Structure 1
Amino acid sequence: MRDAVTAVLVHGEEVFVIKRQDYLRAFPGYYAFPGGKVDEEDAGYRYSHPHIAGFKPERIRALIRELDEELGFDLEQAIVQDQVEQVALMGIAVTPPFERVRFHAHYYKIVLKSKPVFRPHSDEIAWSDWLHRDAFLERYESGQGMMVVPIMRTARAFAEDMATRTIEPFNLDYDEQRELAYLEMIRGLGYIPTPSNTLPPAEYTYALIVGDGGAPRYLVDPAPESDAVLQLMFNTLERYPVDGILITHHHRDHHERAPEIAQQLGLPLLCSRKTEQHLLRCNGADYLQGVEVIHVQEGTHLTQWLGRDVHCYELPGHDDGMIGLAPVDMSWFFVADLVQPMATVVIPEPEGNMQDYFNTLQRIIDLQPRAIVSSHGIPIGGTHLLEKTLQHRQEREAQIRTLIDEGDDLDQIVQKLYRGIPSKLIPLAEQNVRQHLRKLGYAI
């Protein structure tokens, strides 16, 4: 686990906040503070000034370097010139175990005597400004902005007392032995990373909880991989009770053990009519026995989120019965398996359709939601991932067309386009190629 540093720059009642670019790999579109990883080059420095002498010098060096790279601000010079009132370690954010890359991020509160002129680095920073402590918290509480837990806790602590030096608890707070993690990177939209029997490189299906203000609360796509994880889910739902379950589509990693949850808790199960048909076809006619099934479709009013109506959307392409969700103001769009941050989505046979997939991607891009919420990763800002996915599929299709015109068959196309992939993933690659060929009008 690597070290990282974060600079919480404060002046009076204001804090300097950035918004990360939507195309970044880590926390795209999130409200954050400047900072980054501690590198090997940060070793070998010494600092004697009383403001920073008590901290590990490699972390202070990383803090100085990151502020210079991201904002064009010389923290070391500011300290020497008596422009800094104090530096305090507010807390150490430990990346939770369900994240693939983990850090110890040290958050340093730096109280400035005056506001410097910053020159934000636009490659990483989409927006930045000084925000009053109340306005900072309002960005999260109103659902306008995404924040990781330590940033959100900092916003809430400052709203209560700007003089706060340390924050407890600072990290995501839950009992790993008894329950699953529950977090809200978007206010009012609960995320439960659940170990599931999904396709690699994913390991979790991020079950969603949506609904507030007296409206029904729904658990979306619970799919515990084992009875042990199922029990953790039950324990989690004791703290975060729901009124029903929504299944977005029939693939195993979106519904496994969901009927058992519905039965034991006496909850209705919502899904599209096609999804119910697929579930019974694939899992047996008695799979939903004893469960009240309610059908949803395009335009179904599901619940509310921060006072905004949330509706269902039909998202064919990956699965012909797949349902997504979005509030009326498009603050976010839950796209289920339409895209994945870490991998290419498979367009399976027979329920997938490549033309529908292209159309659905473009439809959501045109709606311009502020954030995309998927089933196998954290929420991300804007529509960049959708656009990147559509572009990749268009480029792949052009490659396939060229190879077909050159006389290659299916096996040769897969060998050339998917060189080096694990053998167990080759059948999935073959499906995607066949789906492209169908879209192009070739006989399969």
Structure 2
Amino acid sequence: MPLLFGTATFNESEHLTIGGCDTVTLAEKYGTPLFIYDVAHIRERARGFKQTLNSLGVKNKVIYASKAFCCLAMYKLLEEEELGCDVVSAGEIYTAIKAGMSPENIEFHGNNKTKEELLYAVEQGVGTIIIDNFYEIELLSAILKEKNQKQHVLFRITPGINAETHDYILTGQVDSKFGFDVNSGQATQALERILADDHLVLKGVHCHIGSQIFSAEGFLAAVEKMLTILNEWKQAFGYSVDVLNMGGGFGVQYTEADDPLEPEAFVKAIVNSVKGQCALLDYAFPEIWLEPGRSIIAEAGTTIYTVGSEKVIPEVRHYVSVDGGMGDNIRPALYGAKYDGFLANRISNEQQSPKTIVGKYCESGDVLIKDIELPTLRPEDLFAVTSTGAYGYSMANNYNRNLKPAVVFVEDGHEKLAIRRETYEDLISLDCE
């Protein structure tokens, strides 16, 4: 039996169903490649974070990391579930507000926010801006002075913690483009400058150590380091934070080999560690903010492809091509991300053999899954790749002038088109003759 998530199962026709909807029927209606999101699974994960934090008796905020996947329908779902959102561009701010999210529940991240983006955030009433560098302090301060406004801010610290993950998604170490470095004294300088600015209302600090992290150890080390720093600032400047934002990065399962902690286990470990450090240092317990993205959305997403050509090189490799690839899932080509997959339109008891699932893009590196054990695949079969909900569509592109896929939300037997498939007219809509 393949690795299934959420409401996914097989019906009497041997078709994969998600959210009570037949994926074969969805593929016929919307075409492939097709992203299908299990809304019940998203709700379950979102509520799990909130319920765990509430059960621990701490003031908290759960803020979805938009970069994992966002669109109008996703933001509306977040609003229904009373989650905030973390954005990294004016485009994400615009989409969130258009979807009806309260600007107060938006926090604005980014290591190089432009003057125009900061101005837009201030004008739209974005609740919290996370300051990332000294240049941003100057830009934001100038905007606020001109408008005679105040702005709630956090500032991002890189505490010098190395989490066990890929270098491309490691962010809490000293050598990082994000945040103010602690070891060099930059974080303390930033604190002094922000506290001295009448237009910046400093609510606390932010820390994010990386993504796709399977162990709580990195978070525990980060909590200890952060509380040590915060206590030093309390002694030196008489300043204590109202908010401690520990970011996200909680790992998910992509293949059978992955064995991440449940999100609730991460939450409990982080909160209990903060409680312990605060008691040890006699530091007032702050409000805890977390920024799950992948851990809410990844396993809820499945991509359906149509099988096409194949190429067998005896004693070397058996290639099977599908009608998508690195245009809708660049992660395997970008940093070797691994996925699982299986037939979605039939259950086969045939003998399995290694096959490499590749895309249709003109790159040898366009490989989705290497050497996966599968039965015979025939042209027009439907192939499902699981856990594609995060960083699939959000990193999609038009390489080779291919069209971006459609996205469908499914729940309780009902389907909703969240993003329509691009057309050729869409493809040239920005071109100038």
Q: Same fold per TM (> 0.5)? A: no
Q: TM class by shorter-chain length?
A: under 0.3
TM normalised by structure 1 equals 0.26
TM normalised by structure 2 equals 0.27
